[in-house]
Amino acid sequence: MSRVAIVTGGTRGIGAAISVGLKEAGYNVAANYAGNDEKANAFKDETGIPVYKWDVSDYQSCVDGIAKVEADLGPVEVLVNNAGITRDTMFHKMTPENWTDVINTNLTGLFNMTHPVWPGMRDRGFGRVINISSINGQKGQMGQVNYSSAKAGDLGFTKSLAQEGAAKGITVNAICPGYIGTEMVRAVPEKVLNERILPLIPVGRLGEPEEIARCVVFLASDDAGFITGSTISANGGQYFI
């Protein structure tokens, strides 16, 4: 029987590649999204992966959304916390709303999604939680005090929860992508991309969403059972820790 996987923000960008990668690896995938029905329905039609709308920044919505997925597909054994937003601005211009929106989605979203599935994973003695953080949570980034704080928090969440899950057969890991060629990054003017971004990346190109998806598929697998509390830096050599 296929394992059930939820991918938050699983209908676009990196999350869409993760949903497809897990489906191709044999998982029964549910792709969550926030509100872009048009993209989500196009993704569902194209891939056959069911989509579920709820806001990961709201705890009760996560409880209800996960209950619906479990009623449709079965107990969640793999959770990929991928949903994320940016509200970039210099700190002196950052509003309290810019701060809380980003923290609530990118950091509190991990609590909201993981807490409801955790007891079931403990009871069954198996689970995989994979958190998509960011290179900017590792190194910091001007204009992203909110985002870098949330993404760094994701790494603390990962390392702490990994210690709690280890004896119960649950692994908790993080992936820190660098510049990935999603719509957002591809929309950057070519001159900026060629002169300011690519020179920062030793391999000389953007990453592909599928390269992050393959990391997720590995971490979700039985082969990765001895890896927990780890961070995979997938950034083309841009930053080492």
**Shortest Å, Cβ 219 to ligand NDP:** 15
Residue 236 interacting with ligand NDP (CB under 6 A): no
- For residue 153, the minimal CB distance to ligand NDP (Å) is 12
Site map 202..231 versus ligand NDP, x via CB under 6 A: ------------------------------
Structure tokens at 109: 């979203």
Beta-sheet strands, E only, within the chain? 4-7, 28-33, 51-53, 76-81, 127-132, 170-177, 231-234
Q: Is 238:206 a contact under the CB 8 Å cutoff?
A: no
Q: Where do runs of H (alpha helix) occur along 74-167?
A: 96-106, 108-124, 135-139, 145-165
Q: What residues from 84 to 113 belong to the interface with ligand NDP (CB under 6 A)?
A: 84-85, 105
Quote the tokens at residue 13.
């960008």
First to last CA, the chain: 39
Binding mask 47-66 for ligand NDP (x = CB under 6 A): --------xxx---------
Task: Pick the closer one to ligand NDP by CB: 14 or 121.
Answer: 14
Question: One of 33, 147, 179, 239 is an active-site residue; which one?
Answer: 147
Residue with Cβ nearer ligand NDP (3 or 151): 151
For ligand NDP, the binding residues in 16-35 under the rule CB under 6 A are 32-35
In the annotation, is 179 catalytic?
no
15 binds ligand NDP (CB under 6 A): yes
Among 132, 155, 161, 216, which residue interacts with ligand NDP (rule: CB under 6 A)?
A: 132
| Whether the Cβ atoms of residue 73 and residue 120 lie closer than 8 Å to each other | no
**What is d(CA 241, CA 128) in angstroms, rounded to the nearest whole number?**
24
- Residue 185 in contact with ligand NDP, rule: CB under 6 A: yes
Shortest approach of ligand NDP to residue 161 CB, angstroms? 17
Binding-site member from 3, 12, 23, 128 for ligand NDP (CB under 6 A): 12
CA–CA distances in Å: residue 98 to residues 87, 174, 224: 6, 24, 37
CA-CA distances (angstroms) from residue 78 to 23, 49, 85, 203, 216? 12, 15, 22, 31, 10
Interface with ligand NDP (CB under 6 A): 8-9, 11-15, 32-36, 39, 55-57, 82-85, 105, 132, 134, 177, 179-180, 182-185
Residues annotated catalytic, as ranges: 147
